[in-house]
Chain A
Amino acid sequence: MNDDESTCAEVVELVSDYLDGNLPAPEAERVADHLSGCPGCTAYFEQVRATTAGLGRVTTEDLPTDVRTNLLEAFRVSRKSEE
């Protein structure tokens, strides 16, 4: 808890933009000040940061093999027809 003007309820709505560096300088500074004095918002901010890190590790399923085979075949055919 500190005596800056932002409440925690306001800061949690800014952390995503803060994380991406999308806040105008004065606002970013206000968030940084708040975070430095507020363990609760710091914990929340770290959780959002960890969430984006986790999202970055999500792997995606591959294209079904038969679709891939068809595509390569289509590529061969289309390129041949242009020669």
Chain B
Amino acid sequence: MNFYLTYVLVATALFAFTALFTLFALYSERKISAFMQDRLGPMEVGKYGSLQAFADILKMLQKEFIIPSAADKILFTLAPIVIFVSVYLGFAALPWAPGLSPSSLNLGLFYIFAILSMETIGILMAGWGSNNKYALLGSMRSVAQMVSYEIPAGIALISAVMISQTFNMQEVSIKQGILSDETILFLGIWDVSSIGGLLAWNIFQAPHLIIAYLIYFIASLAECNRAPFDIPEAESELVAGFHIEYSGLRFAFVFLAEYSMMFLVGMIGVILFLGGWNTLLPNIGSVQLAVWTTGIGWGIFWVLIKTLLVVAVQIWIRWTLPRLRVDQLMSFCWKVLTPLAFLCMLISGIWRLTMM
């Protein structure tokens, strides 16, 4: 019985986290974009508009469920659920701190990637079910984009997995810090097993992973349909893309999925490349900074800080770069990112065999 209770509690906590994060990200995105454009952003609801996101959600909750008469009712109703659940399930395998992971799957990364791909189906369902040309165009673009960008993203992740030799996200994290059993070599030469900190992160264990991380980061932007890869929802051409016909709570779920996806892809990158819950600070002689800042509380803190920084960069990029054209998007993916990702994978193999 307790067994199931824990499951329910963990699931509820994760859901609460995604919802809270979405509200927070919504507000911070509006504020950041406003400041970048010399505006003030929301200012009226609460101090400095801090309750604006709650007001927005309250408004959405009150709204009517509108199903267009020409829509495919089953697909239309199911789509937001499929979209959200596929992202939400991805959180199951992410470790938050040493010994703290909702589910320590052996095939964690594999599972996350598989379950994230399901979102594509949800988007296609939404686009097709809406029976709206904009929605359909948006979802077709989205599917083409997400399926294409999963290849460089996946291969970039694989090159990190080759260094870590495991799909288990918790073990990947352990192998990037002072809790590791194996020796960790900074740039393949200097033993930093007991120093830890920044120096033990995957991108510093094998420096070509910096490129792999860049590839993954760019591809992850495309996967969560963020600018400059937001052609599926291109406001100026497709109005809102696949979620144009949605209203009220259903729209809120699509939104929730989008922002949770931002956090999820950010966190996957953080875990595989930037040390996960491992501390930033190395041990320096008798000043055991890494030892002092490792633990459950610290783990959650570090992983949150790192991921929020990545999300902030995503937002920063969104409000800076213009949208790519469809053909540019595809040629960039297939002609630049994919070969580079393969190159990274090759170097990873060589690195693993020769340097580690």
Are the chains A and B members of one assembly? Answer: no
User: Contact residues of B with A, CB < 8 Å?
Assistant: none
User: Contact residues of A with B, CB < 8 Å?
Assistant: none
